[in-house]
Amino acid sequence: MDVEERLELVKSVGEEIVTLDELRMLLETKEHPVAYDGFEPSGLAHIAFGLFRPILLEPLIKAGIRFKLYLADWFAWINRKLGGDLEKIRVCGEYFIEVWKAAGVDFSSVETVWASDIVDSSEYWRNVIQVAKLTTVSRAERALTIMGRKKGELKDVAQYFYPMMQVTDIFMLGADICQLGLDQRRANMLAREVGPKLGYWKPVVVSHHMLMGLQGVREPEGFDEDKNIDVQISSKMSKSKPESSIFVHDSRETIFKKILSAYCPEKVVENNPVLDWTKHIVFRKFKSLRVERLPKHGGPVEFHTYEELESAYVKGLLHPLDLKNAVADVIDKMVEPIRRHFEENSRARELYEELRKTEVSR
């Protein structure tokens, strides 16, 4: 596979790439660049985590990228997730690994790394301080939105360490590429600024799309100065907003119930979560989508590209109810192996039950 083919695979994942020329040069000079994405172990997995993330890994692995899935347990601790209990956070991290296994993540090309395994060194904290010395207070405060919290919600001085630690992680992990959601771009851009000043490199930032929540677009909540990005962050599927999410343990009945009640206005594409999932989950994973309809409504129809489906929807040739039923069926079939894994694998089931008890007691 030549460089341009590899580049196209990575571009298929990135909604924003900083910069494309640097990415091309990286692929020209490294056969197996390292990329990472980080996750706070913070609760039960939704499909943005359990389906979308594994789907995005596939083209990256095909492009020869070595991926590190970073279990940011210390970050969850700082961010007061699961009551700030590190033992419970560890359980959640192990549960995350089981979700990825069930979703078919290729662990021969993907490595899991725990934050707690790399923070225990003087080099790590020296780098944290060096990053902090190169960062103004106002810049640090702007970067704090990567935690999913606004400035007024911060309670501890420890939370101000969060962006400095996230930047340090990039270099400690040896990450050539930061391949996280668009909501994490501020920490990644800070890493690009301070990296060369500390004798490190300038990482390439490949920011992926954020799946929209079931409720559709939400008013900006002050996470980012860029209104477009702020709307995306405010509207994304989030574990902290269960009403916006489908979880990998949801039954077929629950999945249909949630999707049938999702925001999906007729003939409207913009900020339509059902079309968003169709584009970013269904057509990334499958070559077509078959929509079953009664003969009086036109009978079954199969779409071979998202663009074809979107065109039919805008023209009113595809009704929202028919689209919802088709998407719900596909999502259920994709979730089913994960549900089954947690039913049949005793260790996975034990972790799930323990985490579920923690969630209920919060």
Which structural domains are found in the chain, ordered by start? 3-207 (3.40.50.620), 240-361 (1.10.240.10)
Compute the distance between CA of residue 215 and CA of residue 188 in angstroms, rounded to an integer.
Answer: 29
Task: Find, among 227, 211, 127, the residue nearest to 169 by Cα.
Answer: 127
Contact (Cβ atoms closer than 8 angstroms) between residue 277 and residue 331: yes
Split at pLDDT 50, 70, 90, the class of 141 is confident
- Is it the case that residue 222 has pLDDT exceeding 60? no
Q: Report pLDDT for 123.
A: 94
Split at pLDDT 50, 70, 90, the class of 228 is low
How many C-beta atoms surround the C-beta of residue 201 within 10 A?
17
User: 354: which 2 tokens?
Assistant: 């323990």
Compute the distance between CA of residue 54 and CA of residue 104 in angstroms, rounded to an integer.
Answer: 7
Q: Report pLDDT for 102.
A: 96
Q: What angle do CA 218, 222, 227 make, to 5 degrees?
A: 70
pLDDT (tens digit, 9 = 90+) per residue, 258-316? 999 999 999 999 999 999 999 999 999 999 999 998 888 889 999 999 999 999 999 99
Question: Of how many residues is the chain composed?
Answer: 362
User: 168: which 2 tokens?
Assistant: 């340090």
User: 65: which 2 tokens?
Assistant: 């990228």
* pTM of the predicted structure, to 2 decimals: 0.91
